[in-house]
Structures are given as C-alpha cells and as structure tokens.
Amino acid sequence: MSSVFTWGTGLVGTWLPTFLLVLFITLLVLGMFGGRPKNFPPGLMILPVVGSFLSMPFGPSLEVLRGLRKKYGDMASFAIFGTRIVVVSSVNLMKEVFGLRASTDRPEVFFSTHRNRIMTDGRSTAIGVIGSSGQVWQEQRRFMLHHLRDLGFGKSSYEPVMVEEIAELMDLLKKEEGRPLEVKLLFNRSVVNIIWAMVMGTRYHYGHDKLNKLMANFVHTAEFNALTPLYHIPHVFKIMHYLPRHSKGHRFMRRLINFIKEEIKEFMDNEELKNSDNFAAVYLREIEKKENPNFNMDQLSALIFDLFVAGMETTSSALTTAVYLISKHPHVQRRLQEELDEMVGKDRLPSFSDMDRLPYVQATIHEVQRVLNFVKFSLPHVANQDCKLGGYDIPKGTWLLANLDDALRSSEYWKNSLEFDPQNFLDENGKYKKNDAFMPFGVGKRVCAGESLARLELFLFFTHLFQRFTFSLVEEHKPIAEDNPMFASPPEYTATIKCRSI
C-alpha cells in the first residue's frame, strides 16, 4: 500500500523522509510553527511549518505576486515556511507603511547576510547600509549621505567628473562605429569610475586588468532571489557556499570583497589619497577618533561594496535598457534628438542646466526606468515591533514588501502602462509631468541613497550619447528578463553606432 512512509524507497533512498522529519522538528523547536495570526492581512493559505508551500512549492512566481493585489487587496499575505510576508500595494499606502520606523529594519537575506559573513569572517551579519538595521543603519546611512553630499554627491558641482568619464566612453564608441557592439557591460566601467572618484579619489583606465576580470564575471542582482524557499530554512546561510547552485554567487562575492579590501589597503599606503577629500579618507579619520565602535574597517568595506554594486548596477542597467528600447523605437530616437538639437544645439555638449528645457528627454529617461522596472518588490523590510499597518495587526518579524511593480505597471497610474511610451510623463502641452507612482528607487525611509546621483548620471550619459550617436539594434539575444520575481535583468543584444554630423 502506497503512503507517505514509502517515499524513501527506491532510488531516493531513506534520506528524504528523515530530512523532512528533522526539518519539521527543527522549525517546531525554533518556535516557527507559524499559521495565520488573528487580524492578519488576507492572502494565500498559511499552514503551520510549511507556510504557503501547497500554493507555491518553489516559492512565489512573479505571476503569483502580481495576482495578490487583485485577489486580496492592498495588504496581501503568504508565508515561506515560518516567514510570514505581507505585500503592500497602492502608492499612498506604501508611502504610509514604509515611512514608519516600525518598518525600517532589514531581515536576514542571502545577498547581504552571506556577504557580511564572508567580509567579517563570521563576526557580523549586519554591516553596511543595505543589510543593517536600527542604530547601525541610521548612523552609517546618515554619515555616508552627509559626507558624500559634501563631496558633490548628486550635485551639479560633480558634473566635470562625469563629463570626463563620458568623454572617454564616447571616444571608445567612435572607434566602434558601424560594427556590432555587445552592449551588456558597455557602461559598467564608466559608472564605477564616477563612484570610485568620489569614494576612493581615483579611477580605472580601460585596460585595468583586475577590474576587467571582475566585470567579466559580474553576478547580477537578479541572480539572487530573497523569496527562494531554501533561504528561509533556519541557519542555512552558514552552509550556503557548499551548495553547487550558489557557488557562483559565493565566488563572485569573495572576489569582489577581496578586490575592495586590496583597494583599501593600497589606499591606506598612499598618503596623498589618505589626506585628500574623498569618502574613504573621511571615514578613516572617523575611525581614528575611536569615539564610536560602529565605525570600523568592516563597516568601511561594506559601505564601499554597497556603493560599488548598487551604484553601478542600477545606472548601467538603465543605460543598457535605454539604448535597447530607443533603438527599437526609432521615432522616439528622432524626436529626442530633434529636441536636443533645438534646445542645446550641436556646438556644445548638454549640461545639467539644460534639464528643465528638455521635457521629452526627461520623459524618455523616466519611461526607460519605468519599463525596466528593475526592483519589483523592494528589498525586504521587516517589522521591528508588533504594529498595526493598513488596519491589520502585523506581528514583529513579519517581512514587508513594497509592490513597486504594481505602481510602475498599473493602468491606474499610467496612460499606456504596458508599452514603452514617453507620453506617460508628458502633459497635454508636452511639458514634463511628475507622477507619484514613479518609484524605481524604492519608497519610504529606506529609499535608495544613490537616487540623486543616479538621476544626474542618467541625464548626462543619455543626453551626451544621443546627441552624438544614433543607435540601431542588430540582434536581440534576450529581452528584459523577469525570471526573478524580485529583480529584472537588462536586455542582452548587439547594436551599431553611427556618429551624427555635429
């Protein structure tokens, strides 16, 4: 007679039922028996121990997550084993919920927790700004933003540094005119240099062997899915690097961490850089004061890692997607180039001071970010206390996800929500129009710290490139990918470049 007790026979052996029994007992002992609490948001069935496993045995797909608001409303729930998760939708409710102190903490997620274990040799899982919470997060974020702003972060005074990098990139592109060009990693080095000049006071040339090797093996954020059921098994992060599927990400993390630590060591041996105005020098001087143990070398390494990965990937992904989408829509390319020619002319390069005079350019840049929809459900937040959100009782430890995907795709907020159309950001008079549903950098107190820099970078790269070049799509290898319900991957393709007569 067949029953659950015969699962272990045959090729599988006897290990599977034993493993499941041990896992069940472990979760039970750790107090993660679960189930749906009283006055908890509606959603998928949540059973003890297994959570919503019966509804989504491999974790939630993007389709499942997109269907939650329609079926259950603006506060919808599910669970992965013992982790209860609430998806918060609607622009106003997201602003309300993620503007509260109760929702500002970060749970342990694979990317940051595993990174922190490697970086500190197991001493800490909460360093940097992406993966920390509470006082540590507040101190590090406040210090980082204050001193980066003093150095020109997100200000027009930093324009000359950006222009220098863009000029070198354009010189490279001129040499590639007429030949199919793989765009995937085209912008990474230039974007890194803009960050690196501010953080470390230096830059990398195109032949920099160490950086080129690192970029060639770069593991994109979209390869890490915080909603993978495996990540919700207690203490699994301690053995993650032994698992074959995750070894690639582990190796990349270790390479990048080693790269950053070597760069910091070289920086500390250079008296000129140490005594100059850059973020690393300022942070080292804060460590030397010995006034706050939260300012230490582990934190410096983690902050630089956060700036390197987040700063590079968001901007380079948007630029890669811009060339792709605009190449596929020649009428958009013609119109934005006409606006650049009319408002800026051909005798000089665009500047930040031109931004308000280029409504169609602004609309196109914002529409690229909207369609890319890079961060779909925010990095997870966690309730740091029992609280009432959206009329529901949310126990401490509940994960909270902002439904940025719905805000960027819903016909409730956009004229032409499912197509690439810069008119989504223009009023009836052709003027640029803001939209509160546009939140590609997140929402609330943990909105991306690099938003102001990314906005200026995108404007300068975009306007300089399309003023000087016309792009044509040659071969599309892979469109914008949504395999990961949390993050999108930029498209992979080849394009040709034609210099415009200036």
Q: Are 278 and 264 in contact (CB under 8 A)?
A: no
Alpha helices (runs of H) in 73-222, residue ranges in sequence order: 91-97, 110-119, 134-150, 159-175, 188-200, 209-216
Give the H/E segment covering residue 393.
strand 392-394
CA distances from 452 to 206, 374, 404 (A): 26, 17, 19
The residue among 357, 352, 351 whose CA lies nearest residue 430 is 357
CA distances to 13, 77, 465, 500 from 174, rounded to whole Å, are 62, 52, 11, 10
**Is 387 annotated as belonging to a binding site?**
no
Q: Check: CB of residue 115 under 8 Å from CB of residue 305.
A: yes
Three-class secondary structure of residue 492 per DSSP: strand
- Structure tokens that stand for 242 in this block: 């032994």
Q: Of 484, 467, 20, 10, nearest to 219 (Cα)?
A: 484
Q: What distance in Å separates the CA atoms of residue 403 and residue 456, rounded to the nearest whole number?
A: 25
Give the whole-angstrom CA distance, residue 91 versus residue 69: 13
Answer for the pair 84, 32: CB distance below 8 angstroms, yes or no: no
DSSP state, residue 163: H
Smallest CA-to-CA distance from 368 within 471, 284, 286 is with 471
Answer yes or no: are the C-beta atoms of 481 and 376 closer than 8 Å.
Answer: no
Helix, strand, coil shares of the chain, percent, nearest 5, are 50, 10, 35
Give the separation between CA 457 and CA 129, rounded to whole angstroms: 22
48, 170, 188, 197 from 276: Cα distances, Å:
57, 29, 25, 11
Distance, in Å, from the CA atom of 452 to the CA atom of 462, rounded to the nearest integer, reads 16
Longest dimension (CA), the chain: 84
**Nearest in space to 326 (alpha carbons), one of 464, 408, 421:** 421
Backbone angles phi, psi at 40, to 5 degrees: -90, 150
Q: Which residues participate in the annotated binding site for heme?
A: 448
Q: Which residues participate in the annotated binding site?
A: 448
